[in-house]
Amino acid sequence: MEQSHLNIGIILGSTREGRVSPQVGAWLKELADGRGDAEYHLIDLADYPLPFLGHSGGEDAIQNWAAAIGRMDGFVFVTAEYNHSISGVLKNAIDLVRDEWGNKAAGIVSYGSTGGARAAEHLRGILGELNVADVRIHPTLSLFTDFESFRTFKPAELHHKNVNGMLDQVVAWSAALKTIRA
């Protein structure tokens, strides 16, 4: 199947000052771009000053956010673990859009003291409700061994294989699911 036209969004799921997600996103983007199988786009929540769902204001940001998600065929969520789940800003951003997520594929890259595994499992439940097909292979980054002083990202080489395995599946499923969207 022709896959070069696929757009895959790498979503940075944290916005706090001092966040590490941009380092993880830049690393993923470089690995992904090297594959040449899709157009990979960094989607940074910090670029979308979204209001809380149900609060007034921020209509332009919501529209821009929905349009950015709508343009994508698949996603890679970069998620930290906040109190055993995803960040509030990521959950709110996911909740603000509905139809634009549906019938698309997603991979998850998580980080935390236990590789962000609990956040990733919560995210899978949320994605299921939105008809997003999340792939099994899930790179988990440890705050203890993949970051220096919890701040400077120094990923172990072994993660490359998992990232590629995850992207193989995201690209294949994104191409397949594209055929059933109007």
Ligand X SMILES: Cc1cc2nc3c(=O)[nH]c(=O)nc-3n(C[C@H](O)[C@H](O)[C@H](O)COP(=O)(O)O)c2cc1C
Interface segment toward ligand X; rule CB under 6 A; list 78-86, 98-106, 127-135, 171-179 = 78-86
Interface segment toward ligand X; rule CB under 6 A; list 13-21, 44-52, 67-75, 157-165 = 13-21
Q: Indicate the residue among 20 and 69 with the shorter CB distance to ligand X.
A: 20
Decide: is 152 part of the binding site for ligand X (CB under 6 A): no
Q: Indicate the residue among 112 and 174 with the shorter CB distance to ligand X.
A: 112
Alpha helix ranges (H) inside the chain: 21-33, 59-71, 88-95, 117-129, 159-178
Candidates 4, 54, 55, 83; binder of ligand X (CB under 6 A) is: 83
Between CA 9 and CA 29 the distance in angstroms is 10
Q: Indicate the residue among 9 and 116 with the shorter CB distance to ligand X.
A: 116
Between CA 143 and CA 149 the distance in angstroms is 8
CB of 27 to ligand X, least distance (A): 13
Of 84-113, binders to ligand X (CB under 6 A) are 84, 112-113
Alpha helix ranges (H) inside 34-158: 59-71, 88-95, 117-129
Q: Indicate the residue among 73 and 81 with the shorter CB distance to ligand X.
A: 81
Which residue is it, tokens 């789940």? 85
For residue 26, which of 10, 15, 46 has the smallest C-alpha distance?
10
Torsion over CA: 74, 78, 80, 81 (sign): positive
Task: Estimate to the nearest angstrom the gap between the alpha carbon of 159 and the chain centroid.
Answer: 16
CB of 1 to ligand X, least distance (A): 34
Size of the site for ligand X (CB under 6 A): 13
Candidates 6, 8, 20, 163; binder of ligand X (CB under 6 A) is: 20
Between CA 162 and CA 182 the distance in angstroms is 32
CB of 62 to ligand X, least distance (A): 22
What residues line the site for ligand X (CB under 6 A)?
14, 16, 19-21, 80-84, 112-114
